[in-house]
A and B are shown apart, each in its own frame.
Chain A
Amino acid sequence: MYGSRPALEDVSFALEEGGFLVVLGPNGAGKTTLLKTLARLVRPSAGRVWLGGDDWLAAPAERQREIGVLSHATYLYDGLTARENLRFFATLYGLRDPDDRARTALATVGLEDAADRRVGHLSRGQAQRVAIARAVLHDPALLLLDEPYAGLDPRAAARLSAALDALHAAGRTVVLTTHDLARSPAAATRYLVLVEGRARSEGRLPAGDLETIYEDAVAAAGG
């Protein structure tokens, strides 16, 4: 609940393992709240979440390692270098050989040369890449991404899409929220439209003209 107004109401959907869900909606629709609920950052006042057949909300904290979260905020420490940040998170997740994991992750996102620069001195696109590395450092099965395209120039956005497609192709389940239709990745398998906290439309992709579906859903809610 946000103050006395519910942020999300009556939202239900299902996603198969290995699927790629795109959650669309205008600002304030509740996309971030939905993602935070899935990430267990927020407890819903009512409702259940199942992950692989288990009651996710009641699962022990240890199982947080099964998810990776990427937001438009990087969750990184500006005062530490990229390498130090990744080493820190590797230790936090209890990964063996954190130095090695950090090095590999940096190589994967193509930032070896910037590894020892402080995150505060990196460009937005570079910081976002370190954030991606952080999100998948512990090899999670489920990826939750909240408006990851925000603030990225077209080249960085393209690189992000490519990275996401690769991660999805490797068998991970992905949930991504965005308000920018033009930047939703091509590999998405399902979509969900949220307007003012309620689910307006959902279905499989490719699904005809997604833009029209979106506009209609928003219009239906607005009137």
Chain B
Amino acid sequence: MSWWPRSWRQFWSTLDGRTYHLMLAARPWIGWLAVGAMTVVFGLVFWWVPLEAIQGYPQKIFYIHVPAAWVMYAAFGVVFVSSILYLWKRTSLWDIFARCAAEVGFLFVTLALVTGMLWGKPIWGTYWTWDARLTSTLILWFIYGGYLLVRAFARPDADVARLAAVVGIVGFLDVPIIHLSVLWWRTLHPEPVVMILDDPGGGLPASMLITLLASLVAVSLVFAWLWIQRVWQERTAENLALLEALLDRRERDAR
């Protein structure tokens, strides 16, 4: 099969297969890349980047927390796109992409939540505060959870993939609105403590910016590796089940 698609229709129909092959090809490399990148970032965070004046050591959680937050949105974005494509093309690969992205994404939203709380304790003296960022993250955690629960509890005769795809799409569309409403809510009733340095654009010194960007890349690579691993596992399991079914049938026909 030549690589370049012959038409738009062929492009969309073979996109899942092409993506999967790309993922398989990247699989041996991406793990090592991720390890390497994380090592570099570790070095940067603990030996290169200067200590932040006001917050001191705990501020370094920022270099994990922000990338984790970025990944949790990106992962949900993958779920969204894969869900739409599943509803359109109805191939199993799109569903595999979606559910694996949701599983791994759930890890990262939990990570973002926990690192947010751990950062808060030394800074504000409390593990939890209802500021816009933490609150929105918590809601996103629930939405992820809901998606996974729907998959877990779907009736056997219901089309799980289709159901989950719809939930994923509606959930994703709500996320920006939730964000906006929580932000407005917080501006009306401002929290006494404000999380400083949580906006990477606003006046971060160069060294911190570089470290943050490096960490973003590294954490994204970790997500990508985990996602590819899960997709590969699921696809292989599916192929195995198909083979078994085929063998079963041959057996029955032979009788």
Contacts and interface: CB of A to CB of B under 8 A. Distances in A.
Interface in A5-56: none
Interface string B50-70: 000000000000000000000
A113 B255 CA distance: 58
Interface string B148-167: 00000000110000000000
Contacts of B243: none
Contacts of B241: 4
Main SS class of interface, A = loop
Interface residues of A, number: 4
A3 interface: yes
A223 B156 contact: no
B138 to A, nearest CB: 34
Contacts of B156: 2-3
B255 A2 contact: no
A64 to B, nearest CB: 20
Nearest to A220: B255
Nearest to B159: A1
Interface in B216-255: 241, 245, 255
Main SS class of interface, B = loop
Interface in A176-223: 223
B255 A223 contact: yes
A2 B156 CA distance: 7
Nearest to B155: A3
A223 B252 CA distance: 10
A2 B157 CA distance: 5
Nearest to A33: B157
Nearest to B160: A3
A2 B245 CA distance: 14
A70 to B, nearest CB: 21
A3 B158 CA distance: 8
A4 B241 CA distance: 9
A223 B251 CA distance: 12
A62 B156 CA distance: 30
Nearest to B242: A4
Interface in B155-203: 156-157
A3 B255 CA distance: 25
B81 to A, nearest CB: 23
7 contacts: A2-B156, A2-B157, A3-B156, A3-B157, A4-B241, A4-B245, A223-B255
